[in-house]
Chain A
Amino acid sequence: MQNGSEPRKHTISVMVENKFGVLSRVAGLFSARGYNIESLSVGETLDPSVSRMTLVVRGDEFVIEQVTKQLHKLIDVIKVTDLTDEGHVERELVLIRVNAEPSNRAEILRTAEIFRARVVDVTPVSFVLEATGDEGKLEALLELLRPIGIQELVRTGKVAIARGPKTRVRRVEAPKKPRVADDPKVVGFAD
């Protein structure tokens, strides 16, 4: 398929049945079709039988269209929403172990304050900072800390939620009327 647009990052929210094997179905889909996941985070929702995955995928519009359709084709996937082009808030959490010699402890703390990062572990020679924010903010923080010496860092991957009062998925019900006549004696094709 010819590319229709420049590749860019998309944030896709996927509501799935909270069953074992779902993560591997989603991951397997991406590897089988050659799409790259930049980040993936999963957690339970208000309804414990539903999990929400937030995927960050890079692709042009055709790739993203296929990704969305293929995700939706998985039987355990309930709903797929591309949040990229609608108002949404996205956050990531990062834990950073940074060198903290007496000469630069003050500077680290000042930088942390600017970014509203917290110190969650202290030793005579190191700090562990916890920071949350969107990708741009975290990159900026890392940029400032890098010259001081980052020893190790862990990122959660992105989570995202749509802005506004409307709840996307509170509870997912099966449709009241099934769309297919379902006579137990009939094993044939739909209807």
Chain B
Amino acid sequence: MKMPGARIVLECLKRQGVDLVFGLPGGAVLPIYDALYDFEGLRHILVRQEAAAGHAAEGYARTSGRVGVCLVTSGPAATNLVTALQDAMMDSIPIVAFTGQVPTHLIGNDAFQEADNVGITRPCTKHNFLVKDGNDLGPIIREAFHIASTGRPGPVHVDLPKDILVKEWDLVWPERVQMRSYNPNYDGHPGQIKRAAKLLARAKKPVLYVGGGVISADASAELRELAELGQFPLTQTLMGLGAFPMEHPLSLDMLGMHGSYYANMAVHHSDVLVAIGARFDDRVTGKVDAFAPNAEIVHIDIDPSSISKNIKVGVPIVGDCRRVLVKLVEAFREELKDELSPVVREGRRQWAAQIAQWKHDVPFQYEWSDDVVKPQYVIQEISNATGGEAFIVTGVGQHQMWTAQYYKFKHPRMWCTSGGLGTMGYGLPTAMGVQAANPGKLVINIDGDGSFQMNSQELATCFTEGLPVKTVIINNGGHGMVRQWQRIIYKERYSAIDLPQIPDWVRLAEAYGCVGLRVTKPSELVPAIEKMIATPAPVILDVCVDKDECVFPMVPAGGANTDMILTPPTREVRDKAAKSQTGF
């Protein structure tokens, strides 16, 4: 049966199991929106700016484990979407983005709202397609979802010229996707897994270093089994938070630039470091020569190009984190059949004592104040109020790092943050996607006053689409993270960082039909959080916090992780930090 290309697109989405599309219409995709008018079984959420559609799809994908979908028009809409695509690319989030394109006969003519969409998105997607023949619509959409969700997940972009959407075609729907050029490897090499198990069995100072790969492979249970079986201390990256409960005695919290003292010390002094679904990002390693200098490194990752990219790895294991962990647990059990040598047992006992000492000596800490709200305190109270059972989303900046440090994450797939790209404005639209994927659940967007303003228009979407996202603005009246760097590394030469108290967040919330609350004193905080959670509508909770507060510990960019700055630094430390600075 022949049908218009636009209808084929919708049919394919439905067959693919898609129930929700985030989008914004325009000239080139009018045929799709026309077909959507009476198409059943597909919810469309109208966003206010195209990047928000991309971020919402990311939030949907990260918390549901399914592919997120967004749909926008040609030209400026596609270019607006680019930030979200690159964000999904850096954080390996499976989304499929559809853009409109001018009719095929006009491509290359500098037509109205034309851009070289696939040329622009090529480096910021896992793969992209320009549909030139309507008979390819089904196979391409099928391949797009297959590529996005398998191997190392990522964004896939499909560009749809208008004439392809208008003309009638047969619906071609391949039952299976088979690509000779794309066959990710899922099972780790048994020999390497055995080597890893042997290393772990004779390690005196083992550490597991866990990233977002564990979340996307849904491998938390297997990870916990391995950690508990071997009593291995475990640290998580920003992307990995939630893969392992933070309150577990083996948890070392986050590592890296703003990671915990004990995580960075443990990694630095480890003799066997097992990286699982993590990629040795520069924010984690600091100076690479000084990263875990004495460790034998095992690296489990589904992407072969992640291995030995930044750090030379002794035992590479290419495969799906879950499948590899299952085999690694088996192999490690096998090793445990022979009793561990007394030297190893004594080493492990001392290692556990050393880590306990580090944890005791330098926990995450800040100075309490009765007068002004400390931002860390806000996160602690949100954590207490939700018991780690809420979906947490952040923007980018100081508030993001404090959330990573002070929120007690319990479960995987309940945490969304822009890790790789560091996209300010990520919070609200992503939280919208999370809320749409998880109706009736509590979704809290912890944002900064700078970050939030980059996508605050989406409050309108929250209101009209019935998405009761709660936003807590950690309001310090400026770009706090930039301020912190200027304070510590650029000798207090504060440049272009002040954001005067405009807009009035409470009134802005009300203008969008949402509820606005404000806190200026520590004593007001807990009741306000409770009120926010109890309110069924979207809420903005504006918390005016101490603007001088900095995120500690901090490793200056290019410094070694052992050079952490732990407390507001003296002039001497600041000069040293300025010198060690090798570029941001």
Binding site for B on A (CB under 8 A): 1-2, 4, 16-17, 21, 24-25, 28, 32, 62, 65-66, 69-70, 72-73, 75-78, 172-175, 178-180, 182, 184-191
Contact = CB atoms under 8 A, between A and B. Distances in A.
Contact of B149 (A77, A174, A175, A189): A189
Contacts of A188: 65-66, 149
B119 A24 contact: yes
Contact of A172 (B126, B147, B176, B180): B180
B305 A70 contact: yes
B177 A182 contact: yes
Contacts of B320: 190-191
Interface string B81-124: 00000000000001000000000000000000000001100110
Interface residues of B, number: 49
10 contacts: A2-B289, A66-B305, A70-B305, A75-B147, A75-B181, A78-B181, A180-B186, A182-B177, A190-B184, A190-B186
Contact of B178 (A72, A175, A189): A175
B150 A190 contact: yes
Nearest to B151: A190
Contacts of A77: 181
Given A180-B150, A186-B17, A190-B186, A21 B175 contact: no
Contacts, number: 100
Interface stretch (B244-252, B254-262, B307-315, B559-567): B307-315
A174 B289 contact: no
A92 to B, nearest CB: 28
A1 B183 contact: no
Given A1-B310, A1-B311, A28-B122, A189 B94 contact: yes
A24 B116 CA distance: 13
Nearest to A75: B127
Interface in B184-240: 184-186, 216-218
Contacts of B535: none
A21 B179 CA distance: 17
B179 to A, nearest CB: 7
Contacts of B182: 75
B150 A66 contact: no
A112 B236 CA distance: 66
Contacts of A4: 312
Contacts of B309: 1, 66
A75 B3 CA distance: 30
Nearest to A184: B15
A189 B177 contact: no
A174 B178 contact: yes
A1 B288 contact: yes
A189 B217 contact: yes
A17 B47 CA distance: 37
